[in-house]
Structure 1
Amino acid sequence: MVKVSIMGATGVIGKNVAFTLARADTVDEIVLFARPESVEKAKGESFDMYDALAAEDIDCKLTPTSDFQDLKNSSIVLITAGTPREKGMNRRDLALPNAKIVDNYAKEIAANAPDAIILVATNPVDVMTTVALKASGFDKRRVIGIGNHLDSLRLKAYFSRQININSSEVHTRVIGEHGDHMVPLLSSTSIGGIPLKYFIKDVDLDVERLITRLKNAGNTIISKKGATEYGPAFAISNLISTMITDSHKVLTVSTYLEGEVGDVHNVSLGVPVVLSKKGIAMVVPIHMNDFELYEFKQAAGIVKETTDEVLELLDND
């Protein structure tokens, strides 16, 4: 039996992940965890989802609750709860208030679902990944942030649309911070098996404009519709499905580094890993050119500074 719990299930991302996972028909039970004052809303979401799932003959149990004991036997617990980012805010503006939530929830997961994988989506996700790791006491292979998976998908889509080629032919990746200091790995990007540096000689491709658009993607969507929704939900569902099905895909997530990439230590950042039903099976070694390595280390320094400040404030709270 595969059971996935979503903490923050009445939020925009949480409910969309729940419905996307249920429709995939690979999960037996989804726990819609909400604060006590939001449980009735969680029940309403479950009733609405059941109606939709009936049209596709999908039998997935949905459990609305505010009881931490209902997390028991979860394979994966997703933390999406927190203060949402609003127009003009960067992810680091959310660090301390969201850290208190993630810290508490990670401790409850450790107490009630000690064998689960924790997947963190709360922003700033790299900082929150370390907060969840420290609070839970879990092995770092079982505490994962959504990292740059969505950023990588966005860049892949931008290249695909810009040159009118099927997205399956685009192989690219973004690492580093899920935020302003993300690092697109252009040196190892290829299109149709052709390295990008050779491909762009023959096509009209404004790479710098695409990267600027990528870094502003979240704020652009928030300014126009109030929140990011479908992209994050499908990216998160993709990560969960990869682990549930033990697919061993290489995806870019946030993990606590101890020198595996770029000689960076004691901070969580987005890097490519092999995902399995046990969490992170391995961190994938990658090549960066000098500029990319410099940017990656810059991101590490900035994220670590914020993380250390948050952890100190949590200790003193």
Structure 2
Amino acid sequence: MVNKITVVGAGNVGATTAQRIAEKSLGRTVVMVDVVEGVPQGKGLDQWESAPVEGFDTRVIGSNGYEETAGSDIVVITAGIARKPGMSRDDLLNTNAGIVKSVAEQIKATSPNAIVIVVSNPLDVMCHVAKHVTGFPRERVIGMAGVLDTARYRSFIAEALDVSVRDIQAMVLGGHGDTMVPLISYTTISGIPITQLMPREQLDAIVQRARDGGAEIVKYLKTGSAYYAPSSGAVEMVDAIVHDRKRILPCAAWLEGEYGMSGLFLGVPCKLGKNGLEKILEIELTADERTALDRSAQAVREPMSVLSL
């Protein structure tokens, strides 16, 4: 347990993230920050009142400012507008960049030693905004994307094969969006290669559904976007850091030569521990996977080139 964890944004993703952090007792205090007056305070109070039933002592509070967040060990940024039907993640770029920039300025001023986990979309570019504005080292600015994308991929495989999700080992790299790269060569069921259990046509369909996972939910909800799975992904990263678990998770990390790339955030295998990003693992990829990763990196660089900071 750390002393204080801040969640910026008290919408569906942020509030669910705060509740899960509290229920797992990952911090002594969880602070939810949101610009809408009363919303973080009301949700925080509601969550705190669930503590006697759920059995946690983490104090949850809400705020419209950053005074209560001072000295946070970890900050999870979920703030930003949500996707609407027909809206791509890149459509969110300009609006959410301004929001994340403002948040990052506050984090730098009030919690200069925090580890920052970015959830806001478009994810890879918002990570760049947060790192640029805070000036934090890459070890302390990480994006939650691959954990979510991998969870979707694994859930669809489990459904198709009628097996437990716990027995599926998989990893999704690349940018968070249509160019994400599920690694078929590393996908196994209790060590059995997925290609021995499923025809390639069916697997390709699952890969595509994983890529469209967020859009599929937006289509159903019509007025919102996913939040249960994204919050789970963020909390898994928080848990790995708080408990120094040395977990190997696919996260958006700032590359400095890994995979032959530099100067961008991209989903890669990361070791997470008490210091945040402790190592990027460079693994062997098939020729097709390498080509797909390069293509994904280019898709990330394009919106970065028009970003004004």
Give the TM-score normalised by structure 2: 0.95
Aligned residues: 306
Contact in 1 for aligned 2:173/2:183 (Cα 8 Å): yes
CA–CA distance in structure 2, aligned partners of residues 306 and 200 of structure 1: 36
Classify the secondary structure of the residue corresponding to 2:278: strand
CA–CA distance in structure 2, aligned partners of residues 44 and 30 of structure 1: 14
Where in structure 2 are the equivalents of 1:101-116 lying within 5 Å? 101-116=99-114
Give the share of equivalent positions with the same residue, in percent: 30
Tell me the alpha carbon deviations over residues 39-69 of structure 1, each in whole angstroms, 9 at most, x when there is no partner: 3111111221122222123211122112223
Match of 1:276 among 273, 278, 282: 273
Structure 2 residue aligned with 1:22: 22
The AA in structure 2 aligned to 1:152 is T
Classify the secondary structure of the residue corresponding to 1:55: helix
After TM superposition, give the deviation of residue 281 of structure 1 in Å.
0.6
Contact in 2 for aligned 1:162/1:205 (Cα 8 Å): no
Structure 1 residue aligned with 2:12: 12
The AA in structure 2 aligned to 1:256 is W
Tell me the alpha carbon deviations over residues 238-281 of structure 1, each in whole angstroms, 9 at most, x when there is no partner: 111111111111001101111212x1111101111000111001
Where in structure 2 are the equivalents of 1:176-255 lying within 5 Å? 176-200=174-198, 206-225=202-221, 226-255=224-253
5+ residue gaps, structure 1, are none
CA RMSD of aligned residues (A): 1.4
Give the TM-score normalised by structure 1: 0.93
After TM superposition, give the deviation of residue 205 of structure 1 in Å.
7.4
Classify the secondary structure of the residue corresponding to 1:3: strand
After TM superposition, give the deviation of residue 75 of structure 1 in Å.
0.8
CA–CA distance in structure 1, aligned partners of residues 97 and 270 of structure 2: 25
CA–CA distance in structure 2, aligned partners of residues 283 and 60 of structure 1: 32
Structure 2 residue aligned with 1:127: 125
The AA in structure 1 aligned to 2:213 is A
Where in structure 2 are the equivalents of 1:255-266 lying within 5 Å? 255-261=253-259, 263-266=260-263
Classify the secondary structure of the residue corresponding to 2:258: coil
Classify the secondary structure of the residue corresponding to 2:61: strand
CA–CA distance in structure 1, aligned partners of residues 75 and 263 of structure 2: 23
After TM superposition, give the deviation of residue 15 of structure 1 in Å.
0.4
Structure 2 residue aligned with 1:2: 3
Relative distance call for 1:271 and 1:81 in structure 2 (3 A) is same
CA–CA distance in structure 2, aligned partners of residues 268 and 105 of structure 1: 19
Classify the secondary structure of the residue corresponding to 2:285: coil
After TM superposition, give the deviation of residue 198 of structure 1 in Å.
3.1
CA–CA distance in structure 2, aligned partners of residues 205 and 184 of structure 1: 15
CA–CA distance in structure 2, aligned partners of residues 272 and 133 of structure 1: 19
The AA in structure 1 aligned to 2:5 is V
Contact in 2 for aligned 1:147/1:269 (Cα 8 Å): no
Tell me the alpha carbon deviations over residues 87-127 of structure 1, each in whole angstroms, 9 at most, x when there is no partner: 11111110111111111211211111011001111100001
Structure 1 residue aligned with 2:76: 78
CA–CA distance in structure 1, aligned partners of residues 253 and 56 of structure 2: 34
After TM superposition, give the deviation of residue 309 of structure 1 in Å.
1.1
Tell me the alpha carbon deviations over residues 116-152 of structure 1, each in whole angstroms, 9 at most, x when there is no partner: 0011111000011111111110001100110211000
Classify the secondary structure of the residue corresponding to 1:255: strand
CA–CA distance in structure 2, aligned partners of residues 139 and 287 of structure 1: 26
The AA in structure 1 aligned to 2:203 is V
Establish whether residue 288 from structure 1 lines up as the match of residue 265 from structure 2: no
Contact in 2 for aligned 1:39/1:64 (Cα 8 Å): no
